[in-house]
A and B are shown apart, each in its own frame.
Chain A
Amino acid sequence: SQKIEQNSEALNIQEGKTATLTCNYTNYSPAYLQWYRQDPGRGPVFLLLIRENEKEKRKERLKVTFDTTLKQSLFHITASQPADSATYLCAPRPPGYSSASKIIFGSGTRLSIRP
Chain B
Amino acid sequence: EPEVTQTPSHQVTQMGQEVILRCVPISNHLYFYWYRQILGQKVEFLVSFYNNEISEKSEIFDDQFSVERPDGSNFTLKIRSTKLEDSAMYFCASSVRDRGFDEQFFGPGTRLTVL
**Residues on A facing B (Cβ under 8 Å):** 32, 34, 38, 41-46, 49, 89, 93, 98-108
Contacts and interface: CB of A to CB of B under 8 A. Distances in A.
Interface residues of B, number: 32
Contacts of B103: 34, 46, 49
A98 B56 contact: yes
Given A43-B91, A93-B101, A100 B33 contact: yes
Contact of B42 (A41, A99, A108): A108
B24 to A, nearest CB: 14
B56 A89 contact: no
Interface of B: 4, 31-33, 35, 41-45, 48-50, 55-56, 58, 89, 91, 93, 95, 97, 100-109, 111
B1 to A, nearest CB: 12
A98 B106 contact: no
A100 B45 contact: no
Majority secondary structure of chain A interface residues (helix, strand, loop or mixed): loop
Contacts of A38: 43
A100 B56 contact: yes
A43 B93 contact: yes
Closest 5 CB pairs of A and B: A43-B106, A100-B48, A100-B31, A100-B55, A102-B45
24 contacts: A32-B100, A32-B101, A34-B103, A38-B43, A41-B111, A43-B4, A43-B106, A43-B107, A44-B43, A45-B106, A46-B103, A46-B104, A49-B101, A89-B43, A93-B101, A100-B33, A100-B50, A100-B56, A100-B97, A101-B97, A101-B102, A103-B45, A104-B45, A107-B41
